[in-house]
Amino acid sequence: MTDSKWVYRFDEVALAEQAAGDWEGVRALLGGKGANLAEMTRIGVPVPPGFTVTTAACNAYLASGSQFPGGLWEQTRAAMQATQKAATRVFGSARNPLLVSCRSGAKFSMPGMMDTVLNIGLNDETAEGLAALTDDRRYAFDCYRRLVQMFGSVVLNIPDEDFEDILDAWKEKRGVKSDTDLSAEDWQAITEEFKVVVRKHTGEDFPQDPYEQLRLSIEAVFRSWNGKRAVDYRNAARISHDLGTAVNIVTMVFGNMGGTSGTGVAFTRDPASGERRLYGDYLLNAQGEDVVAGIRNTLPIAQMEKDLPEAYAQFVSICDRLEAHYREMQDVEFTIEQRKLWMLQTRSGKRTARAAVRIAVEMANEGLITKEQAVLRVSPEQVDVLLHPQFDQAAEQQARAEGRLFCSGVNASPGAAVGQAYFDADTAERMAKEHGQAVIMVRPFTKPDDVHGMLAAKGILTSEGGATSHAAVVARQFGVPCVVGAAAARINLEARQMTAGEKVVKEGDWLSVNGTTGEVFLGQLGTVAPALEEQTDLLTLLGWADEIAARPDARTGHVTRGLQVWANADYPADARRARAYGAQGIGLCRTEHMFFEPERLPIVQRMILAESSAERVTALDELLPFQQADFAGLFEAMDGLPVIIRLIDPPLHEFLPSQEALLEEVITMRVKGAVDGLEDKEKLLASVNALHESNPMMGLRGVRLSILMPEIVEMQVRAIMQAAAEVANRGLDPRPEVMIPLTGHVNELKVIQPRLEAIAKEVMAASGANFHYKFGTMIEIPRAALTAAEIAGVAEFFSFGTNDLTQMTYGYSRDDAERNFLLKYVEDHILPGNPFQSIDQPGVGRLMRMAVEDGRSARPELEVGICGEHGGDPDSVHFCHAIGLNYVSCSPFRVPVARLAAGQAAVDSR
């Protein structure tokens, strides 16, 4: 262990590359922040001297019960010696003090989720030395009090309020509102009071040994990896818990040295809209925490051009250089110390879904990245966010006219959120999780400790902070609509209410937050679905994804049409929406849904209750025109594209009143002596009782019902084929595919399919129409997957019904499982995830792979897809691409998500 290298100076990035193998390995070893500080140093960007303690050291520390691994402290002290030399200052010296910051930095950015300590190295002597060196006592003791406060809260776990109360009392005593209005004497006195707080809570004095401060700070950052807010964030962002965090020790540079100094955070492109312009906040005479914590209202970055023009010009040049170097929008932190610019961080910037799409498309068009890289830059979840509802403009105008505009602020994260106001993170999380409420979390400003409430909320409102504050950054990453810096909102946390003028919002009241415009309204506003055709950047990106999914494999030259995305649609309106969203076919039309229409249900019930085949056929003849019209509408909407129509699947009792309700009604009528209609009710109850099954899901349904009552599916196939013939004779191109559900044995298909094919041939001959059709089956029973080669001898296509296949493979009833135990199974890691949300690849997936391979061994041209809810799940889409499916089918609103996932799967496989 003592031979391990735990520490790398910023100028040792080449050694880190040798140890880690490649840049991803360097990021894993040094964390994203440490790797980028080292890379900026290598390319000549001004970075203060420093070094990184590796993630491996963190993991070793945590694994050993909070003990530094052998050699770590010795390497840290040696790196401090090198940093002193580079900075030409001495750590712990009163004459020429070197101060450092101690910051976390994991492989993946987790803004604000772990701990930071600034100004390490100050003590009673070095604070006086710093005052003498700079001839500025106010600056020196402002730095010192910050160290005592941060060290106390971060390292010693003292409540931050204990320090803030003292600070507020001093500002009230002096009659000032801003920290910058306090004098040197004030800061010196405040520092002494802060040290009393430390002694009161710990029984010990604030440590005066700079190396002791450094050691304890490194340990605190290591421990913060397992802090609640960090764990909650990793769970939400799907970041592995075993990566550990690096610790970056950086020479302090000071933005609080007067009017020629400042600090800020900026993005090389607008993280809300994606526009190519510098976007950010900065403050004169401040340290970085003042900006990101949101405790002071900031200035826009453009103001810096007027205040510090030379530093601004250099800053713009460096931002352009960093974006070109990393080929990605950058989030940078900087400090200007007496007109000298220092870069403290660069990383890929968090952004809204809309910005992610625009940036990816524009960077590809600019030649910075390829189309393939652009497709990979946007997550399916971000596409989903773009399709979320927005506030109806008419509803907003009416709310304004009614005086319901409560306040406005910075539009930090777009989207519409409606929920009930709660004023702390714990309550917000509890009301959302335990009571199922839609929550708007309201705070003066958010801190990293609030992240669990932010993740549970539908929207966020703060009265302080700017576009790069903690609330804004976290909200943008997770797609939560957010308004920050709403200064008109006066929040009273003790009274659990806020006011804006004469308007009052109490805890539990409804708010509507428009993160796109920065406005907050009282009450609940109506929402509308966004129009995909208006989102030109998204359409461009999805077009690239389709193109990539269908592209020949560069290695083999094999040309396939790729994994297509189809849609589940039962009505023509659904089909038109699906086609507008880019669907290349209908993968599932559930014919039984059409039976529930009010004018049809009585006919369906007469058909079910018929006492003879002739009676049943009479009722079915009445239904046929309805079904034919439905199918014709689907073929028109999907002209030239395939439409898979599933024949009746559910058991017949689902079309009748419930057994319990009928029994109660009959008993009530008997008790009351009601004679009118009693006989009909009793007859209906007897029929329902006769249809009753102990386990309907495995009872008389699907192909079994088709075999026992063939008249039903014969009517449906006749309606399908007559509709196709009618549409074809009008010059359109219908492509019907008839799907027989729930096949378990090939002989079931051998019985029913020839009868249905005969009807298709008869209709085509009688109509004179010419169109292509297929007959296939759903694979939703494990036995069907295991005997796929036999079934493919009859069926021309397979469609996996992954909902039922998952239920039957696991032996779960989905509704009962999710209600009683499945969520706990996932929480306790008994299952890696919910198998009804993402395909269980080792179990259900293995059956699917086997069915595809065996089915195509019997019928090489076999078309195979899925039509369960998994068709819109990105991980499932990747799996379907891997096993060679022709299409996935999902709800119309998930089609854009699946299109992007299909393109990404193609890129990943190549």
Active site residues: 470, 867
The residue type of 665 is E
Determine the longest span between alpha carbons in the chain, in angstroms.
107
438 vs 395, 414, 421, 431, CA distance in Å?
20, 17, 9, 8
Which conformational region is residue 4 in: left (phi greater than 0), alpha (psi within -120 to 50 degrees), or beta?
A: beta
Q: Can you read off the two tokens belonging to residue 810?
A: 């696991």
Rounded CA-CA distance 312/651 in Å is 72
Using CB atoms within 10 A of its CB, is residue 811 exposed (0-12), middle (13-18) or buried (19+)?
exposed
Query: Strand, coil or helix: what is 260?
Result: coil
Helix (H) / strand (E) element for 644: namely strand 642-646
CA angle 504, 505, 506 (to 5 degrees): 115
Per-residue 3-state assignment (H helix, E strand, C coil) for 307-356: HCHHHHHHHHHHHHHHHHHHCCCEEEEEEEECCEEEEEEEEECCCCHHHH
Contact 423/445 with Cβ under 8 angstroms?
no
As a 3-state breakdown, the chain gives helix, strand, coil percent values, each rounded to 5, of: 50, 15, 30
Rounded CA-CA distance 658/668 in Å is 16
Contact 791/773 with Cβ under 8 angstroms?
no
- Per DSSP, which regions of 393-453 are E strands? 405-408, 410-413, 416-422, 439-443
Half-sphere exposure of 155 (CA within 13 A, CB side): 24
Spatial neighbors of 888 by CB under 8 A, at least 6 apart, are 563, 564, 565, 566, 587, 865, 866, 870, 871, 872, 876, 877, 880, 898, 902
Instruction: Quote the DSSP letter at residue 863.
Output: E
Query: Strand, coil or helix: what is 136?
Result: coil
Rounded CA-CA distance 839/183 in Å is 63
Query: Strand, coil or helix: what is 600?
Result: coil
Q: Can you read off the two tokens belonging to residue 235?
A: 């769970």
In this structure, the chain runs to a length of 910
Strands 97-98 and 279-284: unpaired
Q: 280-299 burial string, b = 16+ CB within 10 Å, else e?
A: bbbbbbbbbebbbbbbbbbb
Rounded CA-CA distance 386/281 in Å is 26
* Residue among 416, 344, 351, 411 at smallest CA distance from 382: 351
Q: 684-695 burial string, b = 16+ CB within 10 Å, else e?
A: bbebbeebeeee
211 vs 73, 115, 218, 309, CA distance in Å?
10, 18, 11, 38
Instruction: Quote the DSSP letter at residue 415.
Output: S
User: Hunting for tokens 């080929």 — which residue is that?
Assistant: 327
Rounded CA-CA distance 654/408 in Å is 51
What are the φ/ψ torsions at residue 778 (nearest 5 degrees)?
-90, 140
Q: Can you read off the two tokens belonging to residue 594?
A: 């059409």
Using CB atoms within 10 A of its CB, is residue 71 exposed (0-12), middle (13-18) or buried (19+)?
middle
